[in-house]
Chains A and B, each alone.
Chain A
Amino acid sequence: MRQIRAGFFNKNKKEITGWLFAFPWLAGLITFYIYPLISSIFYSFTAFKGITPEKFNGIQNYIDLVHDGIFWISLKNTFVYTVLVVPASLIFGILLAIILNVKSEGQGIYRVITFIPTLVPVVAVSIIWQWLLNSQFGLVNYILYKIGLPGPPWFGSELWAKPSVALISLWTIGTTVLIYLAGLQDIPKDYYEAATIDGSSAFGKVIHITLPLLTPVIFFNIIMGIIAAVQQFTLPFVITNGQGIPANSMMFYSMLLYKNAFQYFKMGAANAMAWIMFVMIMILTLIVQYTSKKWVHYMGE
């Protein structure tokens, strides 16, 4: 009897010690994550201006947003950008990864070259590309002009502005490629050997072995890509100096959120926008998750 009680106590004590060790992390999580998270839900229902005492005003912030034309413009811009950049980074990412996976001399150097742009701070990236893609005296249009091609007005036109930003984010695709590379190296060599014996072409191997077995990694990258694209802020903000020009075509969702919070002092509306964004990302992720059952193949299943 006594022994049993002692054992029971020991187990409990261990548990408590465990919680104590976790406490610093737990405290951090609660104070810097859960508390702000919950208070932001609360603020989204108030006329919070950032400093003056909050006034509860129900779903007024949400109603105002829906009636604000610029809200829909920013939503559309962000959506168009997401549709451009996610498939593009998927295709280029896989292509680059497959090329970089080919055994060749200087393989390491090529991999480093692909990865280097990701090490450049985003603001620096924006400024470099502002120069390169300047329609009048940028290097890219200068080269296009020399070889007799018309240079698009890049950031100058509503049509080209978003593709330009997508192009810049493709330049910093290194991390995505790295994940694909890891995925590629996970695929057992036996499959390729078997396919070679059966007389499959290189292209056939990519279609029938590489791509199906890479689907878990593709799945992961699509979700991460969507989240990053919907939250895109720095590139359009720096490139347009926070203005979203030309003609609001670069006013991204996060930029409008920032403007509402810190420039118009509509902290309540900004919180509401953040929660709308959360719901949007959640829905998109769930859709991808749902369809994944049909196209993601896990090895050994």
Chain B
Amino acid sequence: MLGKNTFRLAALLLSMLLVLSTALVGCGSPSKEQKTNETPKQSDTDKTESTPKQGKPVEITYWFPHGNSRDKNALEKAVDIFNKANPDIKVTAEFVGASGSGQGITDKLTTAINGGSPPDVVLFDRFMVSQWASGGLFEDLTDLAQANGVTKDMFYDFAIKEASYKDRIYAMPFDTDCRVLYYNKKMFKEAGLDPEKPPLTIAELDEYAEKLTKKEGNRYKVIGFIPWLSQGWLYTWGWAFGGQFQDQSGKITANHPDIVKALEWETTYAKKYDIEAITNFSSASGGDINPFSAGMVAMMISGPWEIAGFKEFKDLDYGVSYIPTPTGSNFNSWAGGWCYVIPKGTKNKEASFKFAKFMSVEEGARIYGEDTVHFMSYKDLNDKFTWVKNEPKAKIFLELFPKSYCRPAISKGQLLWDELATATDNALHGKGMPKELLDKVTEKVNKELGF
């Protein structure tokens, strides 16, 4: 009797444990689930989705990391319009806080895809698409795009390049930007420079920077120019100096002679002005203070988003110009932006794509670009925005987009970014010669890429 009872209870306990652990194992190894999700033939899913049961719309979860009210309102407005126009689909928009260095939802999304219950559509930093696609985390959208009449030439070159991995499309490009030189016209006048003639060559830039700098005791009041401030990444200067970060075979060439020259030039600024005293101007450690609008720097490399932000500063009289190059010609820039991706394992791929398309080339894109003062990757939209028509400073961006690069679309994009940033930082702090540092970056990233 004793044995029997104990046994029964033990069996109960064990079976409860077993149920729990199998549930867990299910979560832990998504590879199996993924396969079953992948295998249903396209036609199967098409059938179930194209004939939705009456009154029961397909439910779609949509994650976005944009928390500021202007962006959030525009995104939610677009969702409302989409839901009204498509009664068979119900999109639920969820704000999901970004993690990491302002690059959007990353760790939460990894976990969700791993757990087998990802959101259906995610607003994602385009720069990371290749890396995530190579890890098998996103659905391939090439066929859906073709079937729905979305072609590569609808977008700027850099945008579709970033959204692809190995010639397959994994994302629908959303907004975009590129970098230009912002300069303070008032400070130009005070320094005896012509406010309508911004520097075009690197030599002019150096000369103007020196004229614009003001020092008081051992503290700088104004620094004319800091190459690495804000958007002055090594990408910016590498391309401006004529360098290329990747060769035809796909190998990384961060030690390209022109990129080395660019970094060497940056270090002259670190030596001339005390690097430690100005690091706080240039790094994120400055908090949310914008040194340009605060009148602490006279020139700065940044993107189009500043235009909307600077409207609050009534006294700020500034101009935008090309990023100077050694020759004063062949101006270029580089672009980034966001896109829509469909994580691996969603059940409503068709409906999700329909929404992604709405947001990237249809009404959703128009609303977002117009309401939030953003350029879009869809080429036809930009010159139609009223804000673009009313903003003379927008012209230079439209001119630069066709000449803009995107960061190499490789499976180790984040590593390359971090390595370049660290190499720049080390070079500026005098920890190693630019050539050696960039050789190391090239070697490390190529090794990780399998070259």
A8 near B2 with CB under 8 A, answer yes
Measured between beta carbons, the chain A residues less than 8 angstroms from B421 are 243, 245
A251-289 interface code vs B (CB 8 A; 1 in, 0 out): 000000001011111000000000000000000000000
A50 near B135 with CB under 8 A, answer yes
Q: Contacts A13-B5, A158-B429, A243-B101 given; indicate if A264 touches B283 (C-beta within 8 A).
A: no
Q: How far is the CA of A248 from the CA of B429 in the complex (A)?
A: 11
B100 near A35 with CB under 8 A, answer no
A93-101, A114-122, A127-135, A188-196: which lies at the interface: A127-135
| A31, A53, A156, most chain B CB atoms within 10 A | A156
B28 near A136 with CB under 8 A, answer no
Measured between beta carbons, the chain A residues less than 8 angstroms from B136 are 51-52
B2 near A240 with CB under 8 A, answer no
Does B196 sit at the interface, judged by CB under 8 A? no
In B195-244, which residues have CB < 8 Å from any A CB? 218-220
A-B contact count (CB 8 A): 151
Q: How far is the CA of A118 from the CA of B296 in the complex (A)?
A: 34
Measured between beta carbons, the chain A residues less than 8 angstroms from B21 are 30-31, 35
A130 near B110 with CB under 8 A, answer no
Measured between beta carbons, the chain A residues less than 8 angstroms from B154 are none
Does B72 sit at the interface, judged by CB under 8 A? no
Band of interface residues on A = 35 or more
Q: How many residues of B contact A (CB 8 A)?
A: 59
B12-20, B174-182, B367-375: which lies at the interface: B12-20
Does A147 sit at the interface, judged by CB under 8 A? no
Does B85 sit at the interface, judged by CB under 8 A? no
B319 to chain A, nearest CB (A): 25
B39-47, B88-96, B274-282: which lies at the interface: B274-282
Q: Which of B219, B279, B344 contacts A155 (CB 8 A)?
A: B279
B212 to chain A, nearest CB (A): 16
Pairs A–B under 8 Å by Cβ, sample size 14: A13-B5, A20-B13, A30-B20, A35-B21, A51-B31, A51-B113, A51-B344, A155-B285, A239-B285, A241-B101, A243-B425, A262-B99, A264-B414, A265-B135
Give chain B's interface residues, CB within 8 Å of chain A.
1-2, 5-6, 9, 13, 16-17, 20-21, 24, 28-31, 34, 99-102, 106-107, 110, 113-114, 131, 135-137, 218-220, 275-281, 283-287, 289, 294, 296, 344, 412, 414-415, 418, 421-422, 425-426, 428-429, 431
Across the A-B interface, give the 6 residue pairs with the lowest CB-CB distance, nearest first: A156-B279, A241-B284, A242-B101, A153-B276, A155-B285, A262-B107
Give chain A's interface residues, CB within 8 Å of chain B.
5, 8-9, 12-13, 16, 19-20, 23, 27, 30-31, 35, 39, 49-53, 127, 130-131, 134-138, 145, 150, 153-158, 239-248, 259, 261-265
